[in-house]
């Protein structure tokens, strides 16, 4: 039986945050702390502008921290190095005092203890709009140690906010693309439930007033105790993800470079070239394979659909390229950047293809009769397989 992976929202799911009171208090406290450097109204405008950019960013090559900082500090006209110590001190010494505005969810500890005892994999899928220090404080307010969880999404590590289905794909990618059932659990229909479903995930809507209203988009729903009972009563096989729509495939393709950029950040040359077994590819070989397959296979396949009515889709054998092209002696970090560039070109091509054209038929050299959507879904499957490889290799180091 495959392990269930739980993606858990934090605010108003595991922690009663009361965002309507918390956010103004947070802004006021930060403004006060930074008053010696910048006028409060200027700081707030810069903070909101940076946050808005994070919410709209689809740039898989820039973390949300980078997106935010470039806007925030340019609007303040203060070098980041001058203001950063004060901001770090704020999150160390002042932000923890805001915990008094929050309360613990009564069922949260019981739920986490139960899920942990079951052996479920648990990610804290909180909107990565905060730095890790703030997110870890909020987890402690909820009664948890951040180290309890396999992944905690923060703006230093992630590339998309929860408005984007690609966010959920990035979380799963950072977990090595689990093969089993997946469930997103959250209270917000717009940022938790709808984007997760758009990716192809099952979702549970946390709603303490679950008996008061019904909404097809929100089912199933209830509190965390209801969730325990529901998960204990059902077969988990319907919770298997399904990535068979245009939107889900595009989200997966967008998340792949983001995932690899995160997983492979900061590796030294020895790690890039290490082979965990004689038959395995090194990380450099793996990324070179992805780069060249993107350039020479996937771009060719998209071009055939654009040029022909019902094209024949060849699938050359790329497994021999690693030795033929001596990938092992390339620069892995450079190959990753080149893969980013090639994937950006792929996505630009795909976004210019009308939705109805994703149903166009073709004949595939391996899979026979197919259509454009299925051919592009094979690209996403290929991505997931190699992310699993990279994740496994990193765990062996």
Write out pLDDT tens, residues 264-288.
Answer: 999 999 999 998 777 889 999 999 9
pLDDT at site 1 = 67
Among the listed residues 76, 49, 55, 287, the one whose alpha carbon sits nearest the alpha carbon of residue 167: 55
Cα–Cα dist 373/361, whole Å: 9
Write out pLDDT tens, residues 362-377.
Answer: 999 999 999 999 999 9
Query: What average pLDDT does the chain have?
Result: 94
Write out pLDDT tens, residues 285-321.
Answer: 999 999 999 999 999 999 999 899 999 999 888 989 9
pLDDT band at 211 (very low <50, low <70, confident <90, very high): very low
pLDDT at site 341 = 98
Q: Provide the token pair at 192.
A: 């938790």
């Amino acid at each position: 039986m495959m392990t269930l992976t739980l993606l858990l929202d934090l605010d108003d799911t595991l922690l009663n945050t009361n965002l309507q009171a918390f956010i103004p208090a947070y802004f006021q406290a930060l403004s006060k702390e930074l008053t010696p450097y910048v006028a409060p109204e200027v700081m707030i405008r810069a903070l909101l502008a940076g946050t808005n950019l994070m919410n709209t960013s689809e740039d898989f090559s820039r973390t949300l921290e980078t997106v935010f900082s470039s806007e925030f500090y340019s609007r303040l006209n203060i070098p980041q190095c001058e203001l950063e110590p004060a901001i770090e001190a704020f999150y160390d010494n002042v932000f923890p005092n805001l915990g008094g505005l929050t309360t613990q969810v009564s069922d949260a500890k019981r739920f986490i203890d139960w899920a942990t005892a079951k052996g479920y994999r648990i990610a804290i899928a909180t909107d990565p709009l905060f730095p890790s220090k703030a997110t870890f404080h909020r987890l402690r307010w909820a009664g948890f140690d951040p180290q309890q969880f396999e992944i905690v999404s923060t703006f230093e590590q992630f590339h998309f906010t929860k408005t984007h289905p690609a966010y959920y794909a990035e979380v799963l990618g950072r977990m090595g693309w689990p093969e089993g059932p997946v469930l997103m659990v959250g209270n917000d229909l717009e940022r938790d439930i709808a984007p997760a479903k758009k990716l192809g995930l099952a979702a549970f809507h946390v709603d303490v007033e679950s008996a008061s209203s019904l909404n097809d988009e929100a089912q199933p729903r209830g509190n965390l105790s209801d969730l325990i009972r529901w998960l204990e009563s059902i077969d988990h096989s319907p919770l298997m993800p399904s990535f068979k729509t245009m939107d889900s495939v595009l989200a997966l393709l967008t998340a792949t470079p983001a995932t690899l950029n995160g997983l492979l950040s900061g590796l030294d040359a020895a790690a890039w070239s290490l082979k965990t077994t004689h038959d395995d590819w090194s990380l450099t070989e793996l990324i070179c394979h992805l780069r060249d397959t993107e350039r020479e296979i996937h771009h060719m396949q998209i071009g055939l659909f654009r040029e022909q009515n019902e094209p024949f889709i060849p699938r050359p054998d790329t497994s021999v390229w690693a030795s033929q092209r001596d990938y092992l002696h390339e620069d892995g970090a450079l190959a990753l950047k080149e893969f980013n560039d090639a994937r950006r070109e792929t996505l630009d091509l795909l976004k210019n293809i009308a939705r109805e054209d994703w149903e166009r038929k073709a004949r595939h050299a391996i899979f026979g009769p197919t259509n454009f959507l299925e051919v592009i879904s094979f690209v996403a499957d290929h991505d997931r397989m190699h992310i699993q490889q990279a994740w496994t290799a990193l765990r062996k180091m």
